[in-house]
Structure 1
Amino acid sequence: MDKEFKNYNSTDVLNIAIEHGVAAVLARVIETNQSQKSFFKDLTNFQLHQNLRNQLIDQQYYPTLIKLSEAGIHFVVLKGYALSHTVYPTPLLRTKADVDIIIRIDDKDAVINAFKTMGFSNPRGWNPTAIINQFSMRKTLSPGVNVDFDIHLRLSNERGVENIITFDELLKAADTNTLQNVPLVSKPYALIHAIVHMLHHRNVGDTVKLIWLYDLLLLCQTMNPDEKQTFRKLIDKKGLTKLANFALNLANSYFSDPSLVLTIEKLRDASSNSELDYLITIETRYQQFKRSFKQRESVLEKWMYIKEMAFPPAAEVYRKYGKKPAYYLPFLYIRRFIGGVIKHLSK
């Protein structure tokens, strides 16, 4: 393997691993390969410090979730935190910047109050309602060390699939055995969510992180026969066959794994909703805006969508440019608007 790495820069490898969320996984692999430890010294040192930091933050996650349960809040944990406990050998191997949970829309105020009693606040300063279906709560342990929660009101911020799986479905099927009193998204639903989440980011031109594809691999490897059958039925019922095939084939192009191939084969003859085909494409900024605008049915919804994108509250502007005197605000809005136009045109 020495020859495989001699033409690579170790700093570049470290930066790519961090960007794609696989630094912890790669560091674990290196532990079993003594010959590569010198080349990956920067990465192993980075991950050593990250593990210490993450252990500190992880100690806050579980007690917070328990307190939410004790407050009578119904929720299901999604994405990285759930997967770190259900499909990864150890939780620290799954990089995560926050904990994602989904709640009933009617419980939003109760959830905000529960987080506030635990010392959390909204880092954004306001809660968008038209452009995204989620909000954040944060507690700062020390400068630069934050405990972050993303609270989702629907499965996705993508209008086309936001209601394709309901909260009640997720709660009914949740894994309540892995972590006591903390419902984690079950593997069949986790695989659907991972597929939709990855394709949404790809559709808007974001980097497809390797860790997202690795999640797909581990879910396919660890699902038992009943879970695989449930996944197949859900894909057929929701018309997600084309999306699932595309995402799983993309993962298989990286990992070439029998479990991915078998999962793909089981999707034969399952139904597909052609209205969701746009998610396997990469759209321009204009195409994204045009589709998202069209998906808002009422005039009020369309106006709120434009308003939150172009003219959000001052808190959002200050978050981007820093706190300024009030008379600077109009100029900051103009700067934000022009910057957005330039960014969209460049894309």
Structure 2
Amino acid sequence: MKISNTTIEDQLLVLLSYNNLTPSEKTKIEQLIPLISSWESFYNLARFNRIIPHIYRILKQENWWQQIPDHVQDEISERAAEIQQINAARLQKAKPILKRFQEAGIEFVILKGVLFAETIYQNSFYKRMNDIDILVRKKSIPNILQIFEEEGLLCIGERIGGNPEKQLKTSHHLPPFIDRELQCMFGIQWGLKSPLTPYRLDYEAIWSRVRPFSFLGLNALQMCPEDNFHHICVHLGYYKNGLRDVFDIYNLLRKYEANFDWQLLETEVKKAGTERLMYFALSLTNSLYSNPTVSELIKKMEPQTSAYYKKGVAEKTKNLHTQLRIGTSYPTEVEKAISEFNATNQFKEKSYYFWLTWKYLLFPPMEEAKKMAANLYPNARQGVWIWWTRSYRMLEYIASEISWLLLFALMFKTWYDLLQCGWSNLFFKSSKTSTKEKMNTLGISEEALERIKKRIQ
């Protein structure tokens, strides 16, 4: 772990992010706790990295809780309790839906955080999770949609409205579905990476390696550790890389490394062409939890890695202080705006989301631009450079996933769709409804709609 140019708070937070602490790690934590100069700063950093519930449990488990000032105890406890309540409500709502999957003979694989909560952390509330991500076979989609309809779940979009089955041809997942109390959102996937990207995971091989998993007392499935590891590495966002997004990678390894099949992982990475994504994720992970085998794998992936990802690693891991403070989900604002643009057929509303999409894409706020540039304290010259290049950074980020050609095609499509909508509205005004009107017909208020948007990340 890099400790240069860092604070005691930085070092302590990373150590507390580890699961199943070793004796030497516990000793180091016990040495650091009395040296904390500002527990409020520690809390704010933990809140920014969104791992409050996990560290709350560790501090309680290891009897370090009483060494924290009372007011910070209150803040940590309150946040942990809030997330526990949210997660508990989500699981309670999910069980009857998944029971129907089981009764219908639908095979379903629990993914990411919801799985790791039970298998790695043994703590359903170790972090806040916006939805329950599930991998299914594509042939199961019609049955799943029927169950969702019968159970009264709402389809949030493309993200709002439209036929969700149209996603089968253009995506690797359905639009999110949520219950009417807005407590449980389902992310149904038949793939792990968008078909718009150049990456091709071998799903038949993945399905051949799934194993039984009891989830909420139901017969669910989980991918093997190597496939889960591959998935969360390729799922890591280029800018969304705080501790919450990274610590599952090294904690999975800490649990399964003794029997981990590194050769299988390398084979699947080569087949999928995900070397550059693995290089990026493993490099960020290794800067927080150093592992010799991971270091060797990074070296193997480097020749197939583009300059873009190498530069990203160099920027983000230059010191721990920076790495813990640059995670941002800002690019999802672009995705949400595009989703809303696609959802509405009302010209006035479509024009607004057209403007919002381009605003988010080309003019990120300076505070977000500094995080994306991994330069939180720029001098005047650096500040000007960040300001001038912020648009390019956003465009380059999207192009790195889908190619510049497809990016320009999609950008052109927004203009085409807007003009087509304007022409259609000119002659068929009465047939067009706004997103707000669509949601009102489903009994969802504007305030509730905003809460739903915040969950989609």
TM-score bracket, shorter-length normalisation: 0.7 to 0.9
- Tell me: CA distance 1:189–1:45, structure 2 relative to 1, closer, same or farther (3 Å): same
Q: Does 1:25 align with 2:63?
A: no
Provide structure 1 residue ranges, at least 5 long, that are not aligned to the other structure.
283-307, 316-328
Q: 2:172 aligns with which of 113, 129, 133?
A: 133
Following superposition, the deviation at residue 93 of structure 1 comes to 1.4
The structure that has the greater radius of gyration is 2
1:277-316 to structure 2, matched below 5 A, reads 311-314=341-344
1:41-63 deviations in whole A, cap 9, x for unaligned? 21112212322332232223344
Number of positions where the alignment pairs a residue of Structure 1 with one of Structure 2: 295
CA displacement at 1:18 relative to structure 2: 4.1
Report the equivalent of 2:192. 155
Offset at residue 346 of structure 1 (A): 1.0
What are the ranges of 5 or more consecutive residues in structure 2 without an aligned counterpart?
1-31, 313-337, 365-457
Q: How does 1:1-347 map to 2 (within 5 A)?
A: 1=32, 4-7=35-38, 9=40, 13-14=43-44, 16-31=45-60, 32-33=63-64, 34-38=66-70, 39-124=72-157, 125-126=160-161, 127=164, 129=167, 132-134=171-173, 135-141=175-181, 145-157=182-194, 159-160=196-197, 163-166=200-203, 168-179=204-215, 180-198=218-236, 201-202=237-238, 206-229=239-262, 230-256=264-290, 260-265=291-296, 269=300, 311-314=341-344, 329-347=346-364
Q: 1:213 is matched by which residue type in structure 2?
A: V
Aligned equivalents of 1:27, 1:219: Cα separation in 2: 20
From the superposition, tell whether residues 18 and 100 of structure 1 become closer, same or farther in structure 2 (CA, over 3 Å).
Answer: farther
Q: 1:163-194: per-residue Cα shift (whole Å, max 9, x none)?
A: 3232x333221131454510122211111110
Q: Give the counterpart letter for 1:174 in structure 2.
A: V
Distance 2:363 2:281 in 1: 27
Task: Return closer, same or farther for 1:138/1:272 CA change in 2, 3 Å cut-off.
Answer: farther
Per the alignment, do residues 281 and 40 of structure 1 end up closer, same or farther by CA in structure 2, a change over 3 Å counting?
A: farther
> Could you report, residue by residue, the CA deviation over 1:278-297 in whole angstroms, capped at 9, with x for unpaired residues?
66666xxxxxxxxxxxxxxx
**TM-score between both structures, scaled by the size of structure 1:** 0.73
User: What do the CA deviations read for 1:296-339 (whole angstroms, capped 9, x no partner)?
Assistant: xxxxxxxxxxxx76952328xxxxxxxxxxxxx32222222122
Taking the aligned partners of 1:156 and 1:146, their CA distance within structure 2 comes to 26
Q: Secondary structure at the match of 1:214?
A: helix
Kindly report the root-mean-square deviation, in angstroms, between the aligned alpha carbons of the 2 structures. Answer: 3.2
- After superposition, the C-alpha distances for 1:142-176 in whole angstroms (9 at most, x for unaligned) are xxx5111111232123632553232x333221131
Identity of aligned residues (%): 17
Task: Mark the CA change 1:279 to 1:266 in structure 2 (over 3 Å): closer, same or farther.
Answer: closer
Q: Distance in 1 between matches of 2:124 and 2:269?
A: 28
C-alpha change, 1:173 and 1:55, in structure 2 (3 Å) is same
Separation in structure 2 between the aligned mates of residue 343 and residue 49 of structure 1, nearest angstrom = 30
